[in-house]
Chain A
């Protein structure tokens, strides 16, 4: 299911670009989705260094992540519902090769198409 990747590497502010980087991943399909919240503007064209914005009070990263997760989970649920409706197993594809070992969940990687009771 879609969730935030654990660890600071996947939820941090890049001080050079003034960007809040958040990495999401789907433990079932291996899919990934990034969220980048720009906290700076007018980056230097040479080095990419950005100047911080003055007003960041209105930005709510948790709400942004929740909104993205809701969208992604909706898409994922649609796929699972389709597989369940037609009794088709969901097989994990080669996308998992791109996921670091520490982020892989070995349970539920192959979701049997069985109706929950």
Chain B
């Protein structure tokens, strides 16, 4: 495997590992509108921050480990990072919420959150 796919493979691995979490509860990918509305505003802010940091050389990317495909201001991988990582977090939260909900609704409540 060529080194230049490393960053993309890391991101792909993140998506793959979190994919089964979609099965819990209402999922994330199944609510595309809600997903877009949560992701887009944050994406805009962080991409602007990232573009400035790259322009100011606060951080750079090792050309050996990236595909070489560029989107404006940054490597493709960096844009994908800001989509993939929040997706993983949303899937995690959605699944944890679903599991806690199942535990809470069982007759013998093991995870006891007192109902208000």
Partners in one complex: no
